[in-house]
A = this chain, B = another copy of it.
Amino acid sequence: MKIITISREFGSGGRELGKRLSDSMGLPYYDREIITAIAQKNSLDENYVESALEKGVIGSMPLTFGRTFTFAPVMPYDTTSLLIEQQKVVKKLAQKGDCIIVGRNADVILEQYNPLKIFVYADMDAKLKRCMERSKEEEPLKPQDMQKKIKQIDKARSNHHAMLAKTPWGNKAGYHLCINTTGLEIKNLASVVADYANFWFHEGEQE
């Protein structure tokens, strides 16, 4: 079974890497499908689901929690419930076979399949540049606000991850390969990472 999970800092190009890996390796890629499935199953708006999962548990959860915590009074579709839904959807997708999943805590949720766990990161300047270029098309943000947004989203990712795993989000010990994309074109990077992935799965079969 070949599953690749891509965890990534916001703005580091991890999502694009996932898509391009999917093209070059011929593996299905799941990203928006996961949001859509959760939204449909719970008759919720996709944008609401995406935003709740992105902005994180802060607000509906006690501010400080480790692996054990007491639930604050739970609203029907608060972030925690959505995270649990997300786990179910990710597991179902993996049961279909080989795939690439970006984010969604898939590295932890799919541990049993021994996925190739990749973490993608970059220097803040590089992330800011990528995000500013992208935001031209959407709502334009000032660089300092964009930097705040980058940190906020990564903080939420880190918090969500902490609910499921002991190794902190972004700590290299939890991954097989950590790639700094600073100064790299993702479209060129994808082909060397595909080679690395093929090598890695091949080595696993030799054991």
Q: Could you tell me if B172 and A185 are in contact, using CB atoms closer than 8 angstroms? A: no
Count chain A residues whose beta carbon lies closer than 8 angstroms to a beta carbon of B: 27
**Interface SS majority for chain A:** mixed
A131 to chain B, nearest CB (A): 18
B180 touches A179 (CB 8 A): no
The answer to the question of A68 belonging to the interface, with a C-beta cut-off of 8 Å to chain B, is no
With contact pairs A178-B178, A192-B196, A195-B195 given, residues A185 and B173 touching in the complex (Cβ less than 8 Å): no
Contact of A176 among B173, B175, B180, B203 (CB under 8 A): B180
Interface residues of A in 106-154 (CB under 8 A from B): 119, 121, 123
A125 to chain B, nearest CB (A): 12
Is A196 touching B199 in the complex (CB atoms < 8 A)? no
Q: Which single residue of chain B is at the shortest CB-CB distance from A204?
A: B183
Residues of chain B within 8 A (CB-CB) of A184 are 200, 203
**Nearest CB of B to A11, in Å:** 14
Residue in B178, B199, B206, B207 whose CB lies within 8 Å of A172: B178
- B203–A183 contact, CB under 8 A? yes
Closest Cβ neighbor of A207 among chain B residues? B183
Quick check: A203 and B180 within 8 Å, CB to CB? no
How far does the Cβ of A53 sit from chain B's closest Cβ, in whole Å?
Answer: 25
Decide if B203 touches A185 in the complex (CB within 8 Å). yes
Q: How distant is A159 from chain B, measured CB to nearest CB, in Å?
A: 19
- Interface check A74, CB cutoff 8 A: no
A188 part of interface (Cβ distance < 8 Å): yes
Interface residues of A (CB under 8 A from B): 119, 121, 123, 170, 172-173, 175-180, 182-185, 188-189, 192, 195-196, 199-200, 203-204, 206-207
In addition to A119-B172, A172-B178, A177-B177, 20 A-B residue pairs with Cβ atoms within 8 Å of each other are A121-B172, A121-B173, A123-B173, A172-B172, A172-B180, A173-B180, A175-B178, A176-B180, A177-B178, A177-B180, A183-B207, A185-B203, A185-B206, A188-B199, A189-B203, A192-B192, A192-B196, A192-B199, A195-B195, A196-B196
